[in-house]
Amino acid sequence: MNHSAILQGSSTQLVNQLVFFDEERQFFLKNYISDDSNERNKVDQVLCMYTSSLENIIAEGNPESINSRVLIGSQVTLQYQDDGYEEQYTIVFPHLTDSSKNWISFLSPIGLQLLTTTLDELYEFVVPSGPIKVRITEIKYMNYGEIDR
C-alpha cells in the first residue's frame, strides 16, 4: 500500500475543504443553516476554528497530524463514559449523510461538537436527549471529506 499516495489524496481533500470554506462559506451557511442569527453565528465560529485547524495540519505536513483532530472525513470512535459503550461515526458533508453507515453530517448536533476535538480527551456534548460524556478513543481520516459543489 502506498501511504504517500493516500496521504497526498487526503491533503488534497483538506486543501479543497479550506478553499471551499474560504470562497463559499456564506453561500453554504445560507443554504444549510436557518435564518436564526445565533445558530448561524455559532456554526460560522466553528467553521472559523475548523479552517484554522486545517491550515495548521496542512502547514505541518505531518502524516500523524491528519489523525490528531476530528475533521470532515474522519472516522471517530467515542466511548460513552456512563456505560463504556463505544460507537464509531464518520463525519461528512451534509449531502453524504448515511445513517446505515453511521455517516453523520458535521452540521448535526454531535457532528458540530466533534469537529476539531482531539484524541483521548473527555468531552461533554449537548444532544437533544441531554448532555453526554464521551472520550475520543480513535480518530482516522478516511478520505470521506469530498466536496460536491
3-141 folds as Chitinase A; domain 3 (3.10.50)
Whole-number pLDDT of residue 75: 96
* Cell matching residue 48: 472559523
* Cell matching residue 120: 483521548
- What would the pLDDT profile of 70-124 be if each residue is shown by its tens digit? 999 999 999 999 999 999 999 999 999 999 999 999 999 999 999 999 999 999 9
Runs of H (alpha helix) within the chain: 3-32, 37-60, 109-114
Give the Cα separation of 120 and 1 in Å (integer).
28
- What would the pLDDT profile of 130-147 be if each residue is shown by its tens digit? 999 999 999 999 875 566
Q: Which amino acid is at 7?
A: L
> Considering the entire predicted model, what is its pTM?
0.87
Which of 136, 123, 124 lies closest to 78, judged by CA?
A: 136
**Cβ-proximal residues to 29 (8 Å cutoff; 6+ apart), any chain:** 40, 43, 44, 47
Percent over 90 (pLDDT), the chain: 67
Q: What H or E segment, with its residue span, contains residue 74?
A: strand 74-80
Give the Cα separation of 120 and 78 in Å (integer).
10
